């Protein structure tokens, strides 16, 4: 299977993914295929159409680059390519004679859109009005009632169907929108929905296969691709991937819109690992038949009705969560095995959250916001390992990458700190609103969801406030953590550096990343004592070089001149170097540069509360000098030789991507020179 087809994760391959079979493109659709079985490449004036990014039930998505090197995703409808108004246009197959991209800067959207012929026939528009999923008028929306305490007031905006924009703003459509074709009007309306975790759609452009939709490129691929490549995901990765999606849904619901097709294929990742919800309203934009936009089997709420019901999106999100955790589509309630049977370590709150989300009883379903909060509170968030799923050309730009097995339950000092603080907050909560001690294996104070043994919806409602309080605190802190883990994945610096000395025996972290400088080919870096007793910022470069050497030679004894004995840095480094050595791996060509090291002043340190909490800063022995050096650690790309499989059948690609991270190095000098005690990522 070629690289391109390997990434062909279509929605129709969900069942295949569930069965462990390689994904395959859908067999329906009328798109022409070339000799590789790949769909015919569209031609677009001023754009270079690159590799196939993926195929959905009704569309095909291509990587495109404009003449200034900006990259986008171009989605064309399967059915419009042979029938679309611009199909086969010879003019589109030749370069723009002006030599300029007809697109112009992306921000300047709209200019070209007017040139796109409407693909929505009156007949189709008529059918859409009769779409059983069409929203009702605001007044018809059923009054929300749920044990998940839905907000009393429903969104004020008019509802839309699962694939449509909000009710038109008359000033735009009747006034400013006059003269625009329908796709352009719909695009304009869709573009009003802006959220950090909604894929941005730029414009509709003519292609040789009909109108195409130009959107941001999500180079990290889809959740479907990830699960297909790796199998079920660890819980912390599911938290990282889906909490932002729940937030995006909450935003849409608040604006009076439903998404209507939340599926693993519509959850994408940027190269940084940021999850994005895609496909809002795009089927209609591209003129797909309503039938083609009727959702994806396995993720459609069986009780879906014509009414505006955000619960249908929550159902789909719960189904996606189930899929991510198990690698299978959940199936109907009576045929679904308990999640606990498939994922024995699933925390009870998460299990109940998913069960409630999938419940046919709509009152049991949480809101999207409650889903986000409970999911976030149910487990630590962990970095999403996209490495096995992305196209090889994406590897060098991935920030989320790891070379070793992901810990299922990362326990950094920071995370423990969060737990401690949450406990402290809980102690302040009156006992009557407190949580019982451990129940179902949950740590004290974990929010519980309705449906738990012995829980009535009423008792659940009573506990709602407590859940809100504990979860809110976690939400605030973990939201920051989420951003951090996304950024530092693979460098092993923050998680490793924040580990307590007691984690020294924990060899589960085999991350070879580092903050040293040098490469495996460099000669041994002698410890320069004169340098190391001087300015800590200068010393850091030397320490980093020595540390890199320890990694390059897989010799843990070299670390004694680098890290403070018993410190988090030593624990993490020793575990990593030993893991490298025992698995016969090495990091060829790794170089790590320390850039712009600056010693932080007392005032700068005081301004960072996370530093004050670290024993490395406050609890140093009296005779030990402490310095905090802020610097950028830049890793080159490197080749990991002798890589071990991440999981059965999946090998770590040998090339690891370059990246850099802004960090704070906490250095100690106890009289014999500076050494590294801890490494902390800078707060976002
Ligand atoms: N913006 C993008 N960047 C990168 N890859 C994308 C992008 N959009 C889609 N893809 C890839 O293409 C696949 C198919 O996308 P598409 O939106 O067509 O899927 P779908 O929603 O399953 O199907 P459809 O919308 O046709 O019913 C995705 O699963 C993803 O792998």
| Contact indicator for 66, 72 with CB cutoff of 8 Å | yes
Cα-to-centroid distance, 124 and ligand 1 (Å): 23
Q: Which atom of ligand 1 is nearest to the CA of 61?
A: 12
Q: Which atom of ligand 1 is nearest to the CA of 283?
A: 25
Whose structure tokens read 């005081």? 606
Instruction: Please check whether residues 257 and 378 belong to one and the same domain.
Output: yes
Cα-to-centroid distance, 55 and ligand 1 (Å): 6
| CA distance readout (Å), 385 to 237, 271, 486 | 8, 11, 10
Residue 675 covered by a domain: yes
Binding site feature residues: 75
Predicted pLDDT at 223: 96
Cα-to-centroid distance, 64 and ligand 1 (Å): 14
659, containing H or E segment = strand 659-669
- Can you give the residue range of the structural domain that contains 668? 479-489+528-642+649-681
Q: Residue 500: helix, strand or coil by DSSP?
A: coil
Q: Which atom of ligand 1 is nearest to the CA of 60?
A: 18
User: d(Cα 450, Cα 51) in Å, to the nearest integer?
Assistant: 46
| Contact indicator for 210, 262 with CB cutoff of 8 Å | no
Enumerate residues 6+ apart whose C-beta is below 8 A from 126. Answer: none
Instruction: Please check whether residues 484 and 387 belong to one and the same domain.
Output: no
The residue out of 344, 365, 397 marking a domain boundary is: 397
| Contact indicator for 17, 224 with CB cutoff of 8 Å | yes
Q: Residue 231: helix, strand or coil by DSSP?
A: coil
The residue out of 397, 421, 438 marking a domain boundary is: 397
Binding site feature residues for ATP: 75
Enumerate residues 6+ apart whose C-beta is below 8 A from 538. Answer: 531, 597
- Count of beta carbons in the 10 Å neighbourhood of residue 640: 21
Q: Which atom of ligand 1 is nearest to the CA of 58?
A: 26
| Contact indicator for 440, 452 with CB cutoff of 8 Å | yes
Rg (CA), the chain: 27
**What digits encode the pLDDT tens for the residues 565-586?**
988 788 777 876 776 677 676 6
653: domain CATH number?
Answer: 3.10.450
Cα-to-centroid distance, 249 and ligand 1 (Å): 18
User: d(Cα 606, Cα 369) in Å, to the nearest integer?
Assistant: 35
Ligand 1 mutation target, pool 5, 24, 222, most atoms within 8 A of CB: 222
The residue out of 352, 369, 397 marking a domain boundary is: 397
Residue 16 covered by a domain: no
Instruction: Please check whether residues 377 and 485 belong to one and the same domain.
Output: no
Instruction: Please check whether residues 372 and 484 belong to one and the same domain.
Output: no
Residue 563 covered by a domain: yes
Predicted pLDDT at 665: 87
Enumerate residues 6+ apart whose C-beta is below 8 A from 152. Answer: 144
Residue 323 covered by a domain: yes
Q: In what order do the strands lie in the sheet with 47-55?
A: 47-55, 59-66, 71-77, 210-216, 201-207
Cα-to-centroid distance, 267 and ligand 1 (Å): 9
645, containing H or E segment = strand 645-647
Enumerate residues 6+ apart whose C-beta is below 8 A from 594. Answer: 515, 517, 540, 541, 544, 631, 632, 633, 634
Ligand 1 mutation target, pool 6, 61, 76, most atoms within 8 A of CB: 61
Question: Token digits for 304?
Answer: 């879906």
Instruction: Please check whether residues 237 and 372 belong to one and the same domain.
Output: yes
Cα-to-centroid distance, 57 and ligand 1 (Å): 9
Ligand 1 mutation target, pool 62, 203, 217, 265, most atoms within 8 A of CB: 265
Cα-to-centroid distance, 374 and ligand 1 (Å): 28
Cα-to-centroid distance, 383 and ligand 1 (Å): 23
- Return the exposure string of 361-393: e unless at least 16 CB atoms fall within 10 Å of the residue's CB, then b: ebebbbbbbbbbbbbbbbbbbbbbbbbbbbbee
Cα-to-centroid distance, 299 and ligand 1 (Å): 16
Whose structure tokens read 């895609």? 278
- How far is CA 619 from its chain centroid? 36
Instruction: Please check whether residues 382 and 483 belong to one and the same domain.
Output: no
Enumerate residues 6+ apart whose C-beta is below 8 A from 91. Answer: 45
Cα-to-centroid distance, 378 and ligand 1 (Å): 29
Q: Which atom of ligand 1 is nearest to the CA of 282?
A: 25
Q: Which atom of ligand 1 is nearest to the CA of 59?
A: 26
Instruction: Please check whether residues 233 and 380 belong to one and the same domain.
Output: yes
Q: Which atom of ligand 1 is nearest to the CA of 292?
A: 27
Cα-to-centroid distance, 404 and ligand 1 (Å): 29
Instruction: Please check whether residues 484 and 361 belong to one and the same domain.
Output: no
Question: Token digits for 644?
Answer: 């071990």
User: d(Cα 405, Cα 516) in Å, to the nearest integer?
Assistant: 22
Of the candidates 494, 505, 544, the one whose C-alpha atom is nearest the C-alpha of residue 522 is 544
Q: In what order do the strands lie in the sheet with 655-656?
A: 586-588, 638-641, 655-656
Enumerate residues 6+ apart whose C-beta is below 8 A from 101. Answer: 46, 47, 66, 67, 68
Cα-to-centroid distance, 163 and ligand 1 (Å): 15
How would you class 457 by CB atoms within 10 Å of its CB: exposed for 0-12, middle for 13-18, buried for 19 or more?
middle
| Contact indicator for 96, 46 with CB cutoff of 8 Å | yes
Q: Which atom of ligand 1 is nearest to the CA of 216?
A: 1
Instruction: Please check whether residues 347 and 483 belong to one and the same domain.
Output: no
Residue having the nearest C-alpha atom to atom 15 of ligand 1:
56
Instruction: Please check whether residues 485 and 354 belong to one and the same domain.
Output: no
- Helical H segments across 277-329, by residue range: 282-285, 311-326
User: d(Cα 360, Cα 259) in Å, to the nearest integer?
Assistant: 19
Ligand 1 mutation target, pool 60, 202, 245, 266, most atoms within 8 A of CB: 266
Question: How many domains does the chain contain in total?
Answer: 2
SS (H, E, C) 286-315: CCCCHHHHCCCCCCCCCCCCCCCCCHHHHH
Residue 262 covered by a domain: yes
Ligand 1 mutation target, pool 279, 281, 287, 296, most atoms within 8 A of CB: 279
| CA distance readout (Å), 235 to 207, 279, 375, 381 | 41, 25, 10, 8
User: d(Cα 33, Cα 24) in Å, to the nearest integer?
Assistant: 14
Ligand 1 pocket (Cβ < 6 Å) reads 9, 11, 53-59, 61, 73, 75, 199, 215-218, 221-222, 224-225, 263, 265-266, 268, 278-279, 283
Q: Which atom of ligand 1 is nearest to the CA of 77?
A: 26
Low-confidence stretches of the chain (pLDDT beneath 50)? 1-31, 81-177, 288-293, 400-526, 643-658
Cα-to-centroid distance, 223 and ligand 1 (Å): 11
Q: Which atom of ligand 1 is nearest to the CA of 55?
A: 14
639, containing H or E segment = strand 638-641
User: d(Cα 463, Cα 446) in Å, to the nearest integer?
Assistant: 11
Q: Which atom of ligand 1 is nearest to the CA of 265?
A: 29
Instruction: Please check whether residues 251 and 391 belong to one and the same domain.
Output: yes
Cα-to-centroid distance, 54 and ligand 1 (Å): 6
Residue having the nearest C-alpha atom to atom 29 of ligand 1:
265
Instruction: Please check whether residues 375 and 275 belong to one and the same domain.
Output: yes
Residue 195 covered by a domain: no
Cα-to-centroid distance, 61 and ligand 1 (Å): 6
Residue having the nearest C-alpha atom to atom 16 of ligand 1:
56
Q: Which atom of ligand 1 is nearest to the CA of 279?
A: 17
308: domain CATH number?
Answer: 1.10.510.10
User: d(Cα 137, Cα 14) in Å, to the nearest integer?
Assistant: 34
| Contact indicator for 137, 166 with CB cutoff of 8 Å | no
Of the candidates 466, 464, 448, 479, the one whose C-alpha atom is nearest the C-alpha of residue 239 is 479
User: d(Cα 496, Cα 570) in Å, to the nearest integer?
Assistant: 9
Residue 66 covered by a domain: no
| Contact indicator for 9, 296 with CB cutoff of 8 Å | no
Q: How many Cα atoms occupy the beta-carbon half-sphere of 76 within 13 Å?
A: 33
Q: Residue 239: helix, strand or coil by DSSP?
A: helix
Residue 62 covered by a domain: no
Asked casually if ipTM beats, i.e. exceeds, 0.90, the reply is: yes
């Amino acid at each position: 299977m070629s690289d391109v087809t390997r990434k062909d994760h279509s929605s129709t391959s969900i069942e295949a993914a569930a069965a462990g079979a390689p994904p395959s493109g859908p067999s329906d659709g009328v798109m022409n295929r070339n000799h590789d079985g790949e769909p015919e490449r569209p031609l677009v004036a001023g754009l270079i159409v690159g590799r196939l990014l993926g195929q959905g039930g009704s569309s095909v998505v291509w990587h495109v680059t404009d003449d200034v090197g900006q990259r986008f995703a171009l989605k064309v409808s399967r059915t419009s390519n042979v029938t679309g108004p611009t199909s086969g246009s010879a003019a589109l197959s030749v370069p723009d004679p002006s030599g300029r991209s007809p697109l112009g800067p992306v921000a300047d959207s709209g200019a070209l859109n007017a040139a796109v012929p409407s693909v929505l026939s009156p007949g189709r528009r008529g059918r859409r009005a009769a779409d059983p999923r069409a929203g009702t008028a605001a007044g018809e929306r059923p009054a929300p009632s749920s044990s998940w305490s839905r907000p009393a007031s429903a969104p004020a905006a008019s509802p839309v169907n699962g694939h449509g924009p909000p009710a038109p703003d008359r000033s735009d459509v009747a006034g400013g929108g006059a003269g625009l074709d329908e796709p352009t009007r719909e695009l304009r309306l869709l573009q009003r929905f802006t959220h950090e975790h909604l894929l941005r759609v730029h414009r509709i452009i003519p292609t040789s296969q009909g109108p195409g939709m130009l959107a941001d490129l999500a180079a990290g691929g889809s959740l479907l691709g990830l699960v297909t490549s790796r199998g079920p995901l660890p819980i912390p990765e599911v938290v990282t991937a889906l909490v932002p999606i729940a937030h995006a849904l909450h935003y849409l619901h608040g604006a009076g819109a439903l998404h209507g097709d939340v599926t693993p294929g519509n959850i994408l990742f940027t190269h940084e690992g940021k999850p994005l919800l895609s496909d809002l309203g795009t089927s209609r934009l591209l003129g797909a038949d309503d039938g083609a936009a009727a959702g994806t089997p396995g993720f459609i709420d069986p009780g879906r009705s014509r009414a505006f019901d955000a619960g249908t999106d929550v159902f789909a999100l719960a189904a996606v969560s189930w899929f991510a955790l198990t690698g299978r589509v959940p199936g109907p309630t009576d045929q679904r095995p308990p999640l606990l049977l498939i994922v024995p370590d699933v925390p009870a709150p998460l299990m109940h959250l998913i069960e409630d989300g999938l419940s046919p009883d709509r009152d049991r379903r949480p809101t999207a916001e409650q889903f986000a909060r409970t999911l976030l509170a149910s487990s630590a968030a962990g970095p999403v390992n996209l490495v096995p799923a992305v196209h090889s050309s994406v590897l060098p730009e991935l920030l989320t990458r790891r070379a070793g097995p992901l810990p299922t339950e990362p326990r950094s000092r920071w995370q423990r700190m969060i737990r401690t603080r949450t406990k402290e907050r809980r102690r302040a909560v009156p006992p009557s609103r407190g949580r019982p001690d451990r129940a179902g294996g949950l740590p004290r104070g974990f929010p519980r969801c309705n449906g738990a043994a012995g829980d009535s919806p009423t008792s659940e409602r009573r506990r709602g406030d407590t859940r809100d309080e504990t979860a809110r605190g976690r939400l605030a802190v973990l939201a920051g953590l989420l951003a951090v883990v996304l950024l530092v994945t693979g460098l092993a610096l923050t998680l490793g550096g924040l580990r307590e000395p007691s984690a020294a025996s924990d060899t589960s972290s085999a991350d070879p990343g580092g903050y040293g400088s040098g490469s495996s080919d460099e000669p041994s870096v002698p410890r320069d004592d004169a340098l190391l007793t001087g300015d800590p910022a200068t010393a850091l470069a030397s320490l980093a070089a020595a540390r890199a050497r320890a990694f390059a030679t897989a010799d843990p004894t070299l670390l004694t001149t680098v890290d403070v004995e018993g410190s988090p840095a030593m624990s993490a480094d020793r575990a990593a170097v030993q893991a490298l050595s025992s698995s016969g791996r090495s990091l060829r060509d790794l170089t790590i540069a320390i850039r712009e090291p600056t010693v932080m002043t007392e005032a700068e340190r005081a301004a960072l509360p996370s530093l004050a909490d670290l024993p490395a800063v406050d609890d140093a022995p009296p005779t030990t000098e402490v310095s905090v050096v802020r610097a950028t650690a830049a890793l080159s790309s490197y080749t990991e030789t002798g890589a071990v499989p991440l999981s059965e059948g999946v090998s770590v690609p040998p090339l690891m991507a370059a990246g850099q991270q802004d960090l704070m190095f906490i250095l100690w000098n106890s009289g014999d020179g500076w050494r590294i005690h801890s490494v902390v990522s800078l707060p976002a």
